[in-house]
Chains A and B, each alone.
Chain A
Amino acid sequence: MGMLPHLPALRRGKIYRSLEQQPLKDCRTGEPLGYISQVNAGIVRKDLARISESRAALQEFSSEHLLQICTRAGELFEKETLPLGDQGHTQSPDQFAETLSATSGLPLVMVRRNMTKIANALANMRVILNGLTRGLDLGILDRGFGVHADSRLSFYPTSLCLGLVMPSNSPAVNSLWLPAIPLKTPVVIKPGREEPWTPYRLIQAFIAAGCPAEAFGFYPTEHEGAGEILRSCGRALVFGDKNTTAQYAGNPGIQVHGPGYSKILIGDDQIERWPEFVDMMVTSIADNGGRSCINASAVVVPKYAAEIADALAQKLGPIVPLPAHDENARLSAFANPAMANGIDAMIEEGLRTPGAVEVTARYRQGTRKVTLDGAVYLRPTVVLCDSFGHPLANREFLCPYASVIQVPQSEMLRQIGPSLVVSAITHDAKFRRDLLASPLIERLNLGAVPTMKISWDQPHEGNLFEFLYRRRAIDFA
């Protein structure tokens, strides 16, 4: 057994050790914690040519059996020691959390929270599928046809597999692909550069729970390989920034998960009560280190913008980085310091355009970008903008960041733009109707619900079942 673990590629479940390996480094010390094989795009293409065999392996299982496997996989993922790599290493849940925290920069407390989210997603897979399929008897997928609510139904898969180009920002994002397995769809995963640990461990948990190994492709690869996954899988999910996702917008085979631009809106009828909502706003902006697309990145109010911005800044501004093991850690380090530099520079550049004031600066006592234990952090930033037209008004960064903008209620829906989550605090029946009718909002919380709250039975970003299956008309003689 080598000293450090090595994560191989998994080619339809089979271990493949590449001659090209990259170190996975502790973002604080720079010390390698393991190595990961890198494969070329041709290997992905070669394996995709035989992906129907992977699908066939999953087809042998009933949906019910696969749901049981999900439950077991969730337990294994959260609580058990699982194989790690191809040199006989194993990984306990604590080791997983420690390693992931070290390479991704997420504090341990957040990694554990993400682990729980993923385990819960697996434990609640039946509820999730019920939500995705709107209560479909999954036996219909096993048989290919059936009767539901007195209607004949038949579904066919839109693709032989699901491709995934994963990010490194937050482990819980992996819960998005988990339903593919009980939906009998093999996955072809390109892990995030700093975060291969979660998908690898999930795959090991599935295999240990009885899932056929052929259902899993794990391909650490460069840009060309990622492009191949997106182009050739038939159906794929891509995560990335605006530039990455813009490339694939409008492609029906690719579900794009870019910035969320999630927001909190307060109506005229509730704005006088704004101090009651400050904690909910802080949670929405800063939970999970402000790294999720469901973190609020803008607060839109009809008045008191300056007061609200100041109240948020008083709470968020003093937050400082804490050591990775500190239970109270609320900020995540940047595995790639260049990204922190870039974000910091973009915010500073934006502040040079008249019409924006960084309110947190008053309460921060120091620079936005700081270093602790060798790692780079960006401290929370609240910017009061005079309109949505300001370059910092509708932005999302990989840190707790929010703009506060004063907009008349009647103008809000015209100005907010596409928003993954909107928490709208209002009892105004007309405003609620307008919100419900808005095509710009993927998930709508009516009331003071943190934007970070998600529910298992409702997809908040695309419906994986509808992405992977299509209904056809069917008749029998």
Chain B
Amino acid sequence: MTQEFNNPEAAQAQLDAHVREIVAWHFSPETGCQFWLDWARNAGLDPRKSVHSFADLVGFFPHFQDEWLRDLQPDVWVPAAYRGRPYNVFETGGTTGMPKQRIGWDDYKTDYEEFSSKISDEHFPKGQAWLMVGPTGPRRLRLAIEHLANFRGSPCYFIDLDPRWVKKVIAQKQFDQARAYMDHVVDQAVTILKHRRVSGLFTTPKLLEALGEKLNLHDAGIRGVFCGGTTMAPQYVRFICEEVLEGRIGFYPTYGNTLMGLAASTPLRPEDNYSITYYAPQPRAVLRVVNPAQTGQLVEYDAWGRVELTTLTKELFLPRFLERDEALRRKPRPPYAWDGVAEVRPFGAMEKNIVEGVY
């Protein structure tokens, strides 16, 4: 379980200790997985001897290549200590061809149980039903949301959205098809909201907006919205808060993916001007905002850079993975004693059009 500190030194010490523990786990033959043991053997290195802190890890490991998650069989990622225990296979992204896969056991439960403490009972009353409208299928998110709801004593309804199909039709400029599919998804959600008592909602920003056009969410019983998925620039966040949720529904934007887990956002203050900052669930995952040209360097605070993820759990060791996102680096802010990432958007968003669709 993550401990949050108001003291950056203590947080750093906790992270360094966690790095040592995780490196020892993944690079010991008794506990580690085939991939990392082979990697160390082929490189002639023993990270256990060289990596004693997060700073050491950054200097020691190259960027994790996500192609490994596509090209290799999932078994190579099974830690020896978990051998014989069936695992979940979660997929990330992908529109065509073989998707990237991450295996897991309990990480999603850990992440979402911790996240449960960050949402209020007023907005997500314990025991009252949730609705998830978004990508289910082979995604970690589907199990995670249901686990979160269940952890709070609530059931959860699901409406699926296949983002691969949406990306495909948008890339082919079949906008009518994309719109028809979105309507199809939203209509199903409206049906659930009309016929079932639901108070908590997980969805993507675009679907939330579309849902808000079909019915008044507060009148439909929704009290809290937990959102994730795509870019939310400050103006868009303001629009969601003021005009879709009408200032009457709790809003919890998150940044996350199958490889990291879930970075929660700090509650918005007036001085934030609707700029959302996310904080990784350190020490299980670390987000850094690095200079895209020299990824060993952090950018200055409040400057744009590329998001780099390091995942440090016993189930997955993923050092220095460069996300396809860019963000502003933000200072620590209570209750988080480490850097945050703000206004996340697709990497290079200002230079080229990115197909985000409704996801």
Which residues of A are interface residues toward B (Cβ below 8 A)?
Answer: 18-20, 38-40, 42-43, 45-46, 49, 227
Contacts and interface: CB of A to CB of B under 8 A. Distances in A.
B235 interface: yes
A45 B238 CA distance: 16
A46 B209 CA distance: 10
A49 B273 CA distance: 27
B209 A42 contact: yes
Interface string B231-244: 00111101100011
Contacts of B54: none
Given A19-B273, A20-B234, A40 B239 contact: yes
Contact of A43 (B234, B239, B273): B239
19 contacts: A18-B235, A19-B233, A19-B235, A19-B238, A19-B273, A19-B274, A20-B233, A20-B234, A20-B235, A40-B235, A40-B236, A40-B239, A42-B209, A42-B213, A42-B239, A42-B244, A46-B213, A46-B243, A49-B213
Contacts of B238: 19
Interface of B: 175, 209, 213, 233-236, 238-239, 243-244, 273-274
Q: Which of B213, B239, B244 has the most CB of A within 10 A?
A: B239
Q: Which of B213, B235, B243 has the most CB of A within 10 A?
A: B235
A315 B79 CA distance: 82
A20 B233 CA distance: 8
B67 to A, nearest CB: 33
A40 B239 CA distance: 8
Q: Which 6 residue pairs of A and B lie closest in terms of their CB atoms, listed nearest first?
A: A19-B235, A20-B235, A19-B234, A42-B209, A18-B235, A40-B236
Nearest to B233: A20
A51 to B, nearest CB: 14
Contacts of B233: 19-20
Nearest to A41: B209
B209 A39 contact: no
B103 to A, nearest CB: 37
A40 B231 CA distance: 13
A38 B213 contact: no
A45 B209 CA distance: 10
A243 to B, nearest CB: 12
A20 B273 CA distance: 11
Contacts of B175: 227
Contacts of A42: 209, 213, 239, 243-244
A217 to B, nearest CB: 15
A42 B238 CA distance: 12
Nearest to B353: A223
A246 to B, nearest CB: 12
Nearest to A231: B179
A221 to B, nearest CB: 11
A42 B241 CA distance: 12
Given A19-B273, A20-B235, 8 more contacts: A19-B238, A38-B235, A40-B235, A40-B236, A42-B213, A43-B243, A49-B213, A227-B175
Given A19-B273, A19-B274, A45 B213 contact: yes
Contacts of B236: 40
A43 B274 CA distance: 16
B183 to A, nearest CB: 13
A227 B235 CA distance: 19
A146 to B, nearest CB: 39
